[in-house]
Amino acid sequence: MRTGRLEALSDGVLAIIITIMVLELKIPEGHSFADLAHSTGVGLLTYLLSFVYVSIYWNNHHHMFHLVKEVTGGILWANLGLLFALSLLPFTTAWVDESRFARTPVFVYGLNLLAAAVAYFVLQSTAIRLQGPDSPLRRAVGSDLKGKVSTAVLIVGLAAALSPVPVWIALICFAGVAVLWIVPDRRIARAVVVGSDALPAKGEV
């Protein structure tokens, strides 16, 4: 019950972020499939990617707060920091979409994803510090291999967005991190991740 309203506010903000991004989809100017593909193709892809990212954060948030029973001022503000980072996604998504994958908007989009990852890490660390080294949350997080790999891949993507390599390499990095968190991967989950994953794999809940 102590975490009830923090979860309610977070659910509310994430639900709205997910849903207002669809307002950015431009209505096609003509009435044919070609018009749809032309004016909405890019938008639909970027919307899907951002939808998946927000969903992943919601899933992970959901799991983490199964192991957080008490809310302190530090957790409140770390959580609001995460919500702030995610609340910028509709804006950065719309810029990527409008620019049709120009370098700078793609870089800024990746920066936004990185900011959310850092904010999530801060929230997680705050919760662990509160609970002590033997807490279930500490054990569940372990060495946080998946979190570290994700961050590294995001940084590779950011570098790619600014370097002369094709911009879709950056996009593949950003999409790859999302896939990493969606795929359940039960075997790895059982064998390795139990001790090293930031949170239980999706298929293990």
Binding site for its own copies (CB under 8 A): 5-9, 11-20, 22-23, 25, 27-28, 31-33, 35-36, 40, 48, 51, 55, 58-59, 62, 71-74, 76-77, 80, 83-84, 87-88, 90-91, 94-95, 98-99, 102-105, 108, 182, 184, 201-205
Structural Rg of the chain based on CA atoms: 18
CB 58 within 8 A of CB 95: no
Which residue's structure tokens are 């409140």? 76
Burial of residue 85 (number of CB atoms within 10 Å: 0-12, 13-18, 19+): buried
Query: In the complex, what is the shortest distance from the CB of residue 133 to its own copies, in angstroms, rounded to a whole number?
Result: 21
Q: How far is the CB of 189 from its own copies (least distance, A)?
A: 10
Identity of the residue, 40 or 196, whose beta carbon is nearer to its own copies in the bound complex: 40
Name the helix (H) or strand (E) containing 110: helix 103-131
Smaller CB separation from its own copies, 13 or 171 = 13
Q: Which is nearer to its own copies, 13 or 152 (CB)?
A: 13
DSSP state of 28: P
Q: How far is the CB of 13 from its own copies (least distance, A)?
A: 5
Q: In angstroms, give the least distance from the CB of 117 to its own copies.
A: 19
Cα(36)–Cα(49) distance, integer angstroms? 19
Q: Which is nearer to its own copies, 29 or 134 (CB)?
A: 29
36 alpha-carbon distance from chain centroid: 28
Instruction: Report d(CA 69, CA 188) in Å as an integer.
Output: 28
